Amino acid sequence: MEDLQKYLDSDICWRKKELTAINFFVKNDTLKDPDLSVRLGIVMVYAHWEGFIKNSGNFYINYLKQLGLNYSELKENFVALSLRGQFTNCETTNKTTLHCSIVNILLNEQNTQANLPAEDAIITNSNLNFQTLEEILFTLGLDDASWKKDLELKKALIDYTFLKNRNEIAHGIRTKPTISDFNNVYSEIVPLLDLIKEKILDAAEHEKFKRVT
């Protein structure tokens, strides 16, 4: 738990320092070109948004892997994650032997250590829209109703003000998000990173990854 806390604190700390500098850079129009400043600002905020979601999620899964928990101890989402490789193999074959390997784990090997992935558990596909974020939060067991409704209010901001502008900029389209767009993105996304960090730490501390029996 201490290592998880240190990692998340360290990862978000350097990002927030850079994001603060980016915010200053954009608001003060350091380049004396407001359109360019905003475009660069949105791209950089996105880089830290995707980077922290991916890194923190993968580190949390690694933390759980190090606990050496059995399938029977984990919630269904983590069991599914443990079997992702087998599910992928089953998609490309009709071999009953491969299908039975999954059935065998589910029926007969519940008391063996879960094979959580060591890396790349969290996949963003370089396109962290709201739907992908929801899937990641479900994978991590962080999709509790206590904050899901508040999160849904940010869907338009994430998908349009933020991601649509970022993608158009990244693909060389001459879009012109406004300083107001940047301010909205910055003021909403940075606190969201803090919130996700807190949710991960709370889940780890209270062992919310464990199956309720």
Render the burial of 151-172: b for 16+ CB within 10 Å, e for the rest.
Answer: beebeebbeebbbebbbbbeee
Does 106 reside within a domain? no
Total domains, the chain: 1
Q: Higher model confidence: residue 146 or residue 176?
A: 176
Does 180 reside within a domain? yes
The residue with tokens 């948004």 is 49
Return the pLDDT at 110.
Answer: 87
Return the pLDDT at 42.
Answer: 97
Does 91 reside within a domain? no
What's the domain range around 153?
2-68+119-205
Q: Which two tokens stand for residue 9?
A: 């604190």
Does 82 reside within a domain? no
72-124 pLDDT, tens digit per residue, is 999 999 999 999 887 777 777 778 887 788 788 888 888 999 999 988 899 99
Amino acid at 1: M
The residues facing 114 across adjacent strands are none
Tell me, what DSSP letter sits at residue 54?
H
Does 146 reside within a domain? yes
Does 211 reside within a domain? no
CA distance 91 to 156: 33
**163, 128 contact by CB (below 8 A):** yes
Name, in order, each residue with C-beta under 8 angstroms of 5's C-beta and a sequence gap of 6 or more.
Answer: 201
Return the pLDDT at 98.
Answer: 77
pTM, rounded to two decimals:
0.91
Does 76 reside within a domain? no
154-174 pLDDT, tens digit per residue, is 999 999 999 999 999 999 999
Does 109 reside within a domain? no
The residues facing 113 across adjacent strands are 70
From residue 33, give the alpha-carbon distance in Å to each of 37, 104, 145: 6, 62, 43
Return the pLDDT at 150.
Answer: 86
